[in-house]
Amino acid sequence: MRLVKRYGNRKLYDTSESRYVTLEEIGRWVKAGEEVKILENDSGDDLTAVTFAQIILEEERRKSGLLSLPVLRDIIRHGEAALQNLAATVDRGVEVLRSAPERAGRRVQELTQISDRLGQLQRLVDEGFRRSVERVTTLPAVQQEMRRIERSLKALEARLTRLRMRGDGEPPAEAPPGHDRSSQS
């Protein structure tokens, strides 16, 4: 812990570095996470809270808006209770921020589990559909209808070929599998 002594002339003396320091330096130490204690040199009274309040005041002057006017009024009107409420609000906010990654991780895990379950369901539906199609296509009436449709398609292809040969006298070029022959004329 860094010990700073405050003299009657309001100068602040850092005992660890044996030099005078400013409120701004103390503010930087606190922001960096250092523990700082300020004592009145003559009486030994702890002036840490008062000095920190001065640092906040100086930052407010420089930045104009660190604390809103309603918050400052509330602190003046209600003193310690307002500061405790402000600290509690800040603590809750910090806790929410700290727990956010954990909550997000849980949500991602839940979504992953849902995705896995949906994938399983999709596989079951696909398998059921495949089995249903197999059952239907093995029925004699369906097989007979499929053969009839196949014969009709072959007859239509033969007729189209004859019609094309009459038009230009040459047989149509053989279309690659899956290619629509009607788009070549």
Torsion of CA 144, 146, 150, 155, to 10 degrees: 60
Cβ contacts of residue 6 below 8 Å, gap of 6+?
12, 13, 38, 39, 40, 41, 47, 51
pLDDT digit string, tens, across residues 134-164: 888 888 888 899 899 999 999 999 999 999 8
pLDDT digit string, tens, across residues 5-57: 999 888 999 999 999 999 999 999 998 999 999 999 999 999 998 898 888 88
Query: Is the pTM here over 0.85, yes or no?
Result: no
